[in-house]
Amino acid sequence: MGYSHIETDVHATSDGALVAFHDDRLDRVTADHGLIRELPLARVRRADVGGEPIPTLDEVLEAFPDTFVNIDIKEPGAIAPLAAALRRHSATRRVCVASFGSSRLARFRSLMGPEVATAVGPIGVAWSALGRVVARVLPPRGVALQMPASIRVAGRSVPLVTPAMLRAVHSRGRVVHVWTVNERPAMERLIDMGVDGIVTDAIDVLSEVMAERGM
């Protein structure tokens, strides 16, 4: 479909293998069950999603050798295996590593240093979106803010991604990736606003929108 960037999450199995999978358990999208961190890779591989085995991150990097990959560290046991996999595949310059856990990001950065691009942690995203003065005085680490377009507060939708916020973030040399955007009108609005990336499940819809715009 022409995409140069893909996104996945990673979990470590009980024997230290890294699998590209969103949930921490097999139960929701496979006929199997169990926490991935408590199962060996051979056991995880017996589960399937739509007839396909759950891939290891090694397989993802090998299958897409020229593709950029955004990788979300879902649990602490995945940190060291991820660092090893990126070095093993010489993939340190084609990934951006993110996590909802600030401590996980800190540990990963301590292993890899500036060799690998990382996303801004959740506290830094909040500073940048809601407290831009704080973000100027205490700039968070990371090159990409990955965030929803809005959040709900007291039953109201509060926008996080705004033209002013984008200008402030871009002025500090960072980029903004918005998740998870599956509707065409929202894609159109965010692209018009100037976001740098959209994370979507509706890859066919985004492809159409970008093709119509000559992107």
Return the bridge partners of 184, or none: none
Residue 137 has a pLDDT of 43
> Half-sphere exposure of residue 201, counting CA atoms within 13 Å on the CB side?
4
In terms of Cβ atoms closer than 10 Å to its own Cβ (0-12, 13-18, 19+), residue 102 is: middle
Q: Which residue range forms the structural domain that includes residue 210?
A: 120-215
Residues 74 and 154 in one domain: no
Residues 105 and 148 in one domain: no
Give residue 205's pLDDT band: very low, low, confident or very high (50, 70, 90): very high
Residues 113 and 193 in one domain: no
Residues 14 and 114 in one domain: yes
Residues 68 and 161 in one domain: no
Residues 108 and 62 in one domain: yes
In terms of Cβ atoms closer than 10 Å to its own Cβ (0-12, 13-18, 19+), residue 147 is: buried
The tally of domains found in the chain comes to 2
Which among 86, 118, 150 is the end of a domain? 118
Residues 78 and 149 in one domain: no
Average pLDDT over residues 118-124: 84
Q: Is the pLDDT of residue 138 over 80?
A: no
The pLDDT tens digits of the residues spanning 151-179 come to 888 999 889 999 999 998 999 899 999 99
Q: Range with the lowest mean pLDDT among 10-19, 87-96, 151-160?
A: 151-160
Residues 148 and 170 in one domain: yes
